[in-house]
Structure 1
């Protein structure tokens, strides 16, 4: 009887441990399925770091990002508008979340060819750029730099004159088709909030 009691006691003690192990396995399997849903199908080998990935992680330098605070664009906006500042704050938060080093730069820095130290140039709603800036940005791209531009970049000159959409075609090879009119309802766009591209855009 005493032996039986010991076995029962041992089973009772082991059961929570066994149950916990099963729960952990199910949680790992569930997480794996979520990752596949987000990133697509991949093998488990891709999750395990090898010597090369560890070496890259510990020896590679952090990417340095430049975010343009364009005075030319600010001068173009209505007095009291915080649209540009809101864009800048959103991009700062975005780069911080990814752990990138960033610096808020001015139009002058681009015009004086000061982009060489940066891996990425972000132009957040920089609607107004000078001709010199555009030339410098093109040269920066030719030298291996990266540019992320949003919201009608360089569609106006630094003195506020309409320039058109040439910047996108010349820099990114994008062909302009037509403007979507404000009352045009034949096209429906669904965008997710909380991203730099959707800064200050109400849900829906």
Structure 2
């Protein structure tokens, strides 16, 4: 508690409370030491559904660092195998499988497109929805990616490249706060700035009771 002022401490306590409402439904498999193959992920999902009877949302972060299913296979062949197996998981249980993919390095300074995804052929053909994130202004004359990354917040665009059951081509605009890894709709940024001012933050008194700047302790 001594590490924070009252407003910061209140934020920490509120975060614990909100996370406590759903943390039991979140299962994280850390692959930093032993990278899983897509078959390992498939077995984990099969086991979870069989054990609990619940259908999870599967998030894979990220595609290119999965362990290859064939050490002698090319990157393209291994990505193809992984993407195809992900599709089987999704269709087998009728669940969403959300996959994060890296870009080709040559496309870092170009507007996002199908070609920006590594081994994009299989990603393009197998996905139902494909969304690309890019910094606003990328590809325009005078654009500096390093300067764009220094901004707080960063202007970020989500481009809907493919939508099997809906419209494509839309661009959604967000403000990205890297300190909190948080995306906000551009229309909400003004409200967010107002809420973040010290006078309107939640605070804690010396007894640990939470209160806002305009309310009595609760």
TM range, smaller chain: under 0.3
Which structure has more strand as a fraction of its residues? 2
TM-score (norm 2): 0.26
Which structure has more helix as a fraction of its residues? 1
TM-score (norm 1): 0.27
Q: Which has the larger radius of gyration?
A: 1
